[in-house]
């Protein structure tokens, strides 16, 4: 029987978000959950969550206690890793000057900071260079690499960029400067001129590690380099760097770059969160204090509290601030940068609100009463190019399709950023558009991509995406479902339950949070809070109450349904979490969908 032929969970065929609710576990999955519970002695609910995410009984024990040593392969499985590690070891041993060229997002900043901390530990002269998003754009450029060479760099390491920077890397080679590329973005069969290109997504790489973010690739490169140094006995009488103590940076990048939270990535995040809680990194500690982050750090704090603040510099301010704060050993300097980033983040939020209102108006007009385009493209000459990625993300969530937002300059060149939905590889589509001549530049990975496009090419770009992706996007919408892990009443929600569920975490891309349905709960209270959120109080039939929050829903069908239903009943779906507010732990439901219950006869 097909999924569509089965009965919907709580008979919800079209929720506020237009989704059909279905039970995550089928009969086979329920049997797998029972096997896990009986074999490992874990609570039934935890077993159901594991089984619902494809974890079998043979892997469950390792999954619940992930260890880097068990999940991380020999770094040399990555193509060119041996050459990269040996060149880095040479630079350390010979006292060369190394330039680290990073991207301006969290992954690039964290990866650059990892490399800088390693070089600093070994007494190697180095500098971090992060390009200006507006004036230099993404990736290495010839002028910057020449500038680094002029300042004495004999080795340039690119982090989270470089895999498709053919002209810039050719310029470095002409200057006699070696380049090691540590990247993870999709690329074609051609490779730029460099000494080593380590990228698990290069077409001749057979490592199976394409899910790593750039900081994960850097971490593996440092493990390999430290092994080379140890083998040579050339460590300048310094003790090896405790690389595991830097996993807070890898965890931060892994969550913020929205790569799949499976296998080695999951181990990075589990161990990285443990490191983060020690507040050893002065920059992260300073940001956490300003953000009033209390209690144990969770993936949510990485992705939605710390990450946006680190990104703020690259979006609308000094692009190097993120890498600087993450690599700083000076508490006063870290505090000063944290204050700057906090202010820039507030400015970013204000600009984002204005841009999003304009983008939503444009998108609504384009979609009209029909299904609309497969890929939603919005643009303006008034937008800040550093914020378009956030706009694309919001549009993707709102309209449930890949979205691209473009900021055009006065010369007709647009800088755009795109975000995709699960099952649609936007990075591959962008690469194809570049090869077809519709883009000046373009690249990325499955869930996110960046483009540079001329305004006179915008029409043919829209047509190309429609031709390439409309069938797949339509098919995804036809089976647009929300998987439900089980049904609960308000009185069954507890701190103990959340703590049990955390045993199967952390959750993120590729390992989604458990989603529970709360059938026929009364909306006792619903009021706007913050910019566009709703705060709720739910009550079950027996009178038990549960606090709830719905983020970024104020002007959406979900938000309107919640507000219209005050005093009435709804089926609600969401994830349980513990919120720390003013030193007090509060249990709350994060509402992600809702539906009107059918009328009882």
Q: Are strands 441-445 and 448-454 parallel, antiparallel or unpaired?
A: antiparallel
Whether residue 565 is predicted with pLDDT greater than 90 in this model: the reply is yes
Q: Residue 173: inside a domain, yes or no?
A: yes
Q: Per residue in 279-298, pLDDT tens?
A: 999 999 999 999 988 778 88
- The pLDDT of 236-254, averaged and rounded, is 89
> Residue 409 is part of which domain span?
369-480
Whether residue 349 is predicted with pLDDT greater than 50 in this model: the reply is yes
Q: Provide the domain count of the chain.
A: 3
pLDDT at site 2: 42
Q: Per residue in 97-113, pLDDT tens?
A: 999 999 999 999 999 99
Its pTM stands at 0.89
Q: Residue 154: inside a domain, yes or no?
A: yes
- The pLDDT of 10-31, averaged and rounded, is 94
pLDDT at site 601: 61
pLDDT at site 4: 43
pLDDT at site 234: 62
pLDDT at site 534: 96
Assign 270 a pLDDT band (cuts: 50, 70, 90): very high
Q: Do 88 and 184 sit in the same domain of this protein?
A: yes
d(Cα 58, Cα 67) in Å, to the nearest integer? 16
Assign 3 a pLDDT band (cuts: 50, 70, 90): very low
Other Cβ atoms less than 10 A from the Cβ of 246: the count is: 25
DSSP letters spanning 403-434: EEEEEE-TTSEEEEEEE--TT--HHHHHHHHH
d(Cα 373, Cα 366) in Å, to the nearest integer? 8
Q: What is the CATH number of the domain that holds 136?
A: 3.90.1640.30
Q: Do 426 and 400 sit in the same domain of this protein?
A: yes
- Reduce the secondary structure of 365-394 to three states and give it as a string: HHHCCCCCCCCEEEEECCCCCCCHHHHHHH
Specify the DSSP element, H or E, that contains 545.
strand 545-550
Q: Do 587 and 505 sit in the same domain of this protein?
A: yes
Instruction: Give me the sign of the Cα torsion angle 131, 137, 138, 140.
Output: negative
* Domain termination residue (choose one: 430, 447, 480): 480
Q: Residue 517: inside a domain, yes or no?
A: yes
Lowest mean pLDDT segment, chosen from 151-155, 157-161, 201-205, 506-510: 506-510
Indicate the average pLDDT of the chain: 93
* Domain termination residue (choose one: 480, 514, 537): 480
Lowest mean pLDDT segment, chosen from 473-482, 485-494, 555-564: 473-482
Q: Do 177 and 216 sit in the same domain of this protein?
A: yes
Are 109 and 326 in contact, with CB atoms under 8 Å apart? yes
Q: Residue 273: inside a domain, yes or no?
A: yes
pLDDT at site 235: 56
d(Cα 285, Cα 277) in Å, to the nearest integer? 9
Q: Do 201 and 308 sit in the same domain of this protein?
A: yes
Assign 598 a pLDDT band (cuts: 50, 70, 90): confident
d(Cα 264, Cα 68) in Å, to the nearest integer? 7
DSSP state for residue 5 in the 8-state scheme: G
Q: Do 473 and 494 sit in the same domain of this protein?
A: no
Q: Do 297 and 239 sit in the same domain of this protein?
A: yes
Whether residue 510 is predicted with pLDDT greater than 90 in this model: the reply is no
Are 349 and 531 in contact, with CB atoms under 8 Å apart? yes
**Phi/psi of residue 475, nearest 5 degrees:** -65, -40
In angstroms, the Cα distances linking 147 to 41, 322, 324 are 60, 21, 19
pLDDT at site 162: 96
Specify the DSSP element, H or E, that contains 348.
helix 331-367
Cα dihedral value 428, 431, 432, 434, nearest 10: 160
């Amino acid at each position: 029987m097909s999924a569509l032929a089965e009965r919907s969970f709580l008979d919800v065929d079209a929720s506020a978000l237009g989704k059909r609710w279905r039970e995550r576990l089928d009969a086979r999955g329920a049997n797998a959950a029972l096997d896990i519970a009986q074999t490992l002695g874990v609570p039934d609910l935890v077993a159901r969550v594991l089984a619902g995410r494809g974890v079998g009984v043979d892997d469950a024990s390792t999954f619940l206690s992930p260890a880097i040593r068990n999940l991380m392969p020999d770094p040399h499985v990555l193509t060119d890793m041996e050459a990269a590690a040996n060149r880095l070891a040479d630079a350390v041993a010979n006292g060369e000057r190394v330039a680290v060229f990073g991207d301006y997002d969290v992954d690039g900043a964290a990866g650059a900071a990892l490399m800088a901390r390693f070089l600093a530990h070994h007494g190697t002269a180095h500098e971090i260079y992060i390009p200006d998003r507006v004036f230099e754009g993404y990736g290495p450029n010839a002028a910057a690499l020449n500038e680094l060479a002029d300042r004495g760099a004999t080795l340039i390491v690119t982090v989270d960029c470089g895999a498709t920077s053919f002209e810039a890397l050719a310029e470095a080679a002409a200057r006699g400067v070696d380049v090691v590329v540590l990247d993870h973005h999709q690329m074609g069969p051609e490779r730029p001129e460099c000494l080593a290109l380590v990228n698990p997504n290069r077409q001749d790489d057979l490592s199976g590690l394409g899910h790593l973010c750039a900081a994960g690739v850097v971490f593996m490169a440092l493990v390999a380099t430290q092994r080379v140094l140890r083998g040579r006995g050339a460590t300048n009488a310094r003790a090896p760097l405790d690389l595991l103590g830097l996993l807070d940076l890898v965890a931060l990048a892994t969550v913020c770059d929205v790569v799949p939270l499976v296998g080695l990535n999951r181990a990075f995040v589990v161990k990285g969160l443990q490191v983060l809680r020690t507040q050893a990194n002065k920059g992260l500690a300073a940001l956490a204090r300003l953000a009033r982050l209390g209690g144990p750090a969770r993936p949510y704090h990485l992705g939605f509290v710390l990450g946006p603040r680190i990104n703020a510099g690259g979006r609308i301010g000094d692009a190097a601030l993120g890498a600087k704060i993450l690599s700083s050993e000076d508490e006063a300097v870290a505090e000063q940068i944290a204050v700057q980033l906090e202010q820039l983040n507030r400015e970013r939020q204000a600009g984002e609100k204005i841009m999003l209102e304009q983008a939503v108006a444009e998108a609504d007009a384009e979609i009209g009463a029909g299904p609309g385009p497969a890929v939603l493209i919005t643009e303006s000459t008034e937008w800040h190019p550093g914020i378009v990625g956030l706009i694309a993300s919001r549009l993707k969530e709102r309209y449930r399709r890949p979205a691209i937002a473009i900021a055009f300059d006065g010369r007709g060149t647009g800088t755009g950023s795109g975000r995709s939905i699960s099952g649609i590889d936007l990075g591959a589509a962008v690469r194809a558009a570049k090869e077809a001549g519709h883009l000046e530049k373009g690249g990325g990975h499955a869930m996110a991509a960046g483009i540079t496009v001329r305004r006179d090419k915008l029409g043919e770009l829209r047509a190309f995406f429609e031709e390439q992706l409309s069938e797949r996007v339509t098919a995804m919408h036809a089976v647009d479902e929300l998987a439900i892990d089980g049904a609960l009443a308000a009185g069954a929600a507890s701190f103990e339950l959340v703590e049990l569920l955390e045993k199967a975490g952390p959750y993120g891309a590729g390992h989604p949070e458990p989603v529970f349905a709360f059938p026929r709960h009364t909306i006792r209270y619903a009021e706007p809070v913050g910019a566009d959120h709703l705060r709720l109080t739910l009550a079950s039939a027996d009178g038990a109450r549960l606090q709830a929050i719905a983020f970024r829903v104020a002007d959406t069908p979900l938000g309107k349904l919640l507000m219209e239903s005050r005093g009435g009943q709804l089926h609600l779906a969401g994830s349980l979490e513990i919120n720390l507010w003013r030193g007090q732990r509060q249990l709350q439901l994060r509402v992600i969908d809702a539906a009107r219950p059918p009328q009882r006869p």
